[in-house]
Structure 1
Amino acid sequence: MNALTHAVQYFLNLGPSVMLPVFIFIIALIFRVKPGKALRSGVTIGIGMIGINLVLGLLSDNIGPAAQAMVTRFGFHLTIIDVGWPGVSAGTWAQPISAAIIPLAVIVNIVMLLLKLTKTMDVDIWNYWHFAAAAATALIVTGNFWFALAMAVLYEAACLIFADKTSPMVQKYYGLEDVSFPTGSAVAMGMVGIPIGWVIGKIPGINKIKADPESIQKRFGIFGEPWVMGFVIGAIIAALAGYDVGKIAQVGMNMAGVMFLMPRMVKILMEGLIPISEGAQEFLQSRFKDRKIYIGMDAALSTGSPAALSAGLLLVPITLFLAVVLPGNRVLPFGDLATIPFFVALIVPSRKGNIFQIVLTGTVVMALALLMATDFGSVMTQMMQGVVNTPGGATEMSNLDTGGNLLNWLVLKLSQLWNLVFH
């Protein structure tokens, strides 16, 4: 098992820019795409992922320190630190059970496709760590290996089915043909946010406010351009962090760059994905008439939308404010603040890009995520032991991506129920 764990960890450490092209190339060959075309598609997708990761790095490098400065400036004192998804994913893959999850998840996906239980072929192997986190959670709480594997399978099935249901609006709004988002965190936030957003969209007065990027740009001209919105939001966050004028301008310009560059990076990735999607559809049509298949991709693709980025960035200071005033919360948001744009990936198309409604919805979703992450503190801390050191001033660790995730929180509750019934 140790050898398998090391092999899996080595492959994962190569990162999505290597992993994804390899899997795309293999899948393309299975769907009888010519080798040269398959190689070109895989490499193009890898280049797109490199571009997306560079832009996301720019986002994280600016928002992370600004969030930390806000925490210091306003003197927040909370006992559970949000270590972010990188820390939790490292803790997840350190668990012995995690090595079994990638082959298990691939098998489950194939079986569900063959049984017509899903239309999504999830090629986003990198994000299988969400399924592994569910298994690790269940194993830590119950100590039962088979129950833990069952939780991972249920988590994956929920993600694939929900990705199917939301794929039509994802394709229509984001312009991502034959793509779905089975990413665990985006699915879980969408399960909570879509119904909440529907209710908010029915409130008289609120339902009359048009605040999608197109309407904003039409009304305010150049001041409604996505890059201008990025500059303004970045400058506001920097100002709240207490930065000087020069640093405020730097953060503002970097966020303008994120808004401008991200759609172009997503376009490069989609250029590589289209031949694979076409090959998959032709392959299925020749064997299963009228059968449609979706390519499951990372919800990070949603950040090509100005509405997703704008709403996500606006939710950063809102989430910090919620952490202080929300009764029962003990989590200090930090590591996952720059990940909030991914959390709204499925909420954005459900609200048709209306930034005002997305932010209102996101505020409720983040409040619930903070409470779930608080409840997850002790178990998440056990998962992190020996992998991530508890930062000074905190007694426990959690995060918003996994601990504040409805699906993973339900796994936690089911595991605790299992203990009550069988122990």
Structure 2
Amino acid sequence: MFIIDYIVGMGASVMMPLIFIILGLILRLSISKSIKAGLMVGIGFIGLSITVNLMIDSLTPVSNAIVQRFGLHLTVLDMGWPAAAAVAMGTRVGALVIPVCVAINVLMLYTKTTRILNVDIWNLWHHAFTGSLVAIITGNLWLGVLAAGLNCIVTMVIADRTTADVEKYLNLPGISVPHGFSASFVPAAWLVNAIVDRIPGVRDIKIDTDVIQKRLSILGDPACLGAIIGAILAIIAGVDVKSVLQTAITMAAVMTIIPRMAKMLMEGVYPISERIQEIAQSRAGSFGRISIGLDSAVSVGHPVTLSVSMLMIPIMLILAAIIPGNEFLPFASLTGLPFAFVLVTAVCRGDMFRTLLTGLITLSLALLIGTALAPLVTSTAISTGFSLPHGATSISSVDYAGAMLPWVIIKGFYFKTIGIAVLIICALLLALWNRKKIRLEDQELMQSESTQASIGE
């Protein structure tokens, strides 16, 4: 645990390169290729981190100005995901979550209930967050660990079921995104797709990057789109002309730089991914196809993801003011909204209309869930020694206290034995269902390869 804590404490930009270098050596890549892969992953993460922080630094004063301009006075303060992660990893559940979730991942690989090798160790804090809240309400550490494990299993299944969409619509072959926050919005996206597909006329609405670029010409370019949305946000905030222009240029830079940093990161991932596939194939299908599980940051720069995220900032503040029963003031989490839409964009096939519709539904619920979980989040934070902001009596966060998955799991533990049994059965059934889907996909792949071979002959 000391070694794990030490490595995690270095941060993702150091931890991920070390993981990939060690993984490359274990997979018998040459030392030079392993080091190169690790360094490229580290460079990509640093580039993404710098760019995302640039976006946060630019949008934070704009978001603050919007809050002040609309005069929002709500009692539950938003502590943001960094503070939520620190609280989650600072509990006893957080101390155990990494070895527990790694063991679950290995077990699921061996039982073929997943095909993801998750190396995104840092974001296991999402599972620790759920487990920590459960430990508070039950007073039992091991029930908290169980809750974290259930959260992990469900997230892995969702990541598996979205792998094909991630490859096709986000252009990330061999990559999955078992990111707790991103995965939590996927069921709603599936539901939105199912409903929209059954409504004549509405199902024909399609607004993707190709449509935007075709109809708006240069205005549909990601850089121009970022500049336009950034300027609109700044104008809504009522800031001066200088700030409007600075925000516009910064958002244009973000929309341009993030995809390039993600591409650089992928240069480090590909050699590891290809080597894993080679080993899997050489073992006569003992594992089948395996994908690498990465942070959703690898595709946070998709034009639809960023556009919808920026549009949702003022919309979410308006929702906070008008939704009955809401006491949660979203602020610190607003600049982290792109992470909510990475998998939604993929599931909605890169369509901005469906992604935005999903965002309206899920983030409306996030405000109410964040309000409902605020007492638990506050108790957990205080128990870890977290200092509440001056004057604050209640805190919460969109990520991860506003997500549907942890809320469902926590609610299940309120029903004690019956609720826990239902949660365990549901998680196991989802894993078995995923295993069945994986087997069918492998059979289809084998048939397709056999057909192609016959045609070739």
TM-score range, shorter chain: over 0.9
Residue 107 of structure 2 is matched in structure 1 by 111
Residue 334 of structure 2 is matched in structure 1 by 337
Matched, 1:381 2:375: no
Distance change in 2, residues 1:421/1:414 (3 Å): closer
Matched, 1:358 2:355: yes
Contact kept? 2:12, 2:45, Cα under 8 Å = yes
Residue 275 of structure 1 is matched in structure 2 by 271
Contact kept? 1:142, 1:419, Cα under 8 Å = no
Name the CA distance, whole Å, in 2 between partners of 1:302 and 1:244: 32
Name the TM-score, length of structure 2 as normaliser: 0.88
1:211 Cα deviation (Å)? Answer: 1.3
1:309 Cα deviation (Å)? Answer: 0.7
CA RMSD of aligned residues (A): 1.7
Residue 93 of structure 1 is matched in structure 2 by 89
Contact kept? 2:412, 2:419, Cα under 8 Å = no
1:197 Cα deviation (Å)? Answer: 3.8
SS at match of 2:288: coil
Distance change in 2, residues 1:19/1:261 (3 Å): same
Contact kept? 1:308, 1:344, Cα under 8 Å = yes
SS at match of 1:304: coil
1:10 Cα deviation (Å)? Answer: 3.6
Residue 403 of structure 1 is matched in structure 2 by 401
SS at match of 1:345: helix
Map Cα deviations across residues 306-326 of structure 1 (whole Å, 9 max, x no partner).
111111111111111111111
Name the CA distance, whole Å, in 2 between partners of 1:316 and 1:9: 34
1:74 Cα deviation (Å)? Answer: 1.2
Residue 414 of structure 1 is matched in structure 2 by 412
Q: 1:47 aligns with which of 30, 43, 46?
A: 43
1:229 Cα deviation (Å)? Answer: 0.8
Contact kept? 1:112, 1:118, Cα under 8 Å = yes
Q: Which moved more, 1:255-264 or 1:32-41?
A: 32-41
Distance change in 2, residues 1:387/1:72 (3 Å): farther
Name the CA distance, whole Å, in 2 between partners of 1:313 and 1:368: 18
1:304 Cα deviation (Å)? Answer: 2.7
1:395 Cα deviation (Å)? Answer: 2.6
Name the CA distance, whole Å, in 2 between partners of 1:38 and 1:355: 38
1:297-316 equivalences under 5 Å are 297-316=294-313
Matched, 1:296 2:293: yes
Q: 1:216 aligns with which of 200, 212, 217?
A: 212
Map Cα deviations across residues 52-104 of structure 1 (whole Å, 9 max, x no partner).
11110111111122111111121101110111110111111211221111111
Residue 132 of structure 1 is matched in structure 2 by 128
Name the CA distance, whole Å, in 1 between partners of 2:225 and 2:201: 24
Matched, 1:255 2:255: no
Residue 348 of structure 1 is matched in structure 2 by 345
Distance change in 2, residues 1:9/1:67 (3 Å): farther
1:20-169 equivalences under 5 Å are 20-169=16-165
Residue 324 of structure 2 is matched in structure 1 by 327
Contact kept? 1:52, 1:266, Cα under 8 Å = yes
SS at match of 2:53: helix
Contact kept? 1:90, 1:387, Cα under 8 Å = no
Name the CA distance, whole Å, in 2 between partners of 1:288 and 1:418: 44
Name the CA distance, whole Å, in 1 between partners of 2:60 and 2:189: 24
Map Cα deviations across residues 196-220 of structure 1 (whole Å, 9 max, x no partner).
2432354333323331111110111
* Count of equivalent residues: 418
Residue 228 of structure 1 is matched in structure 2 by 224
Q: 2:241 aligns with which of 225, 239, 245?
A: 245
Runs of 4+ in structure 1 deviating by more than 4 angstroms, as ranges, are 6-9, 419-422
Map Cα deviations across residues 275-334 of structure 1 (whole Å, 9 max, x no partner).
000000011111132810010011112223111111111111111111111111110001
Q: Which moved more, 1:253-262 or 1:204-213?
A: 204-213
1:417 Cα deviation (Å)? Answer: 1.6
- Corresponding letter in the other structure for 1:231: A
Q: Percent same amino acid among aligned pairs?
A: 38
SS at match of 1:121: strand
1:394 Cα deviation (Å)? Answer: 3.8
Q: Which moved more, 1:6-15 or 1:181-190?
A: 6-15
- Corresponding letter in the other structure for 1:402: Y
Name the CA distance, whole Å, in 2 between partners of 1:82 and 1:7: 32
Distance change in 2, residues 1:394/1:199 (3 Å): farther
Name the TM-score, length of structure 1 as normaliser: 0.95
Extract unaligned runs of 5+ from structure 1: none
Residue 199 of structure 2 is matched in structure 1 by 203
SS at match of 2:29: coil
Q: Which moved more, 1:413-422 or 1:105-114?
A: 413-422
Name the CA distance, whole Å, in 1 between partners of 2:249 and 2:5: 37
SS at match of 1:177: coil
Map Cα deviations across residues 361-407 of structure 1 (whole Å, 9 max, x no partner).
21111001111111100000012115443334543101111111111
Name the CA distance, whole Å, in 1 between partners of 2:284 and 2:149: 26
Contact kept? 1:380, 1:398, Cα under 8 Å = yes
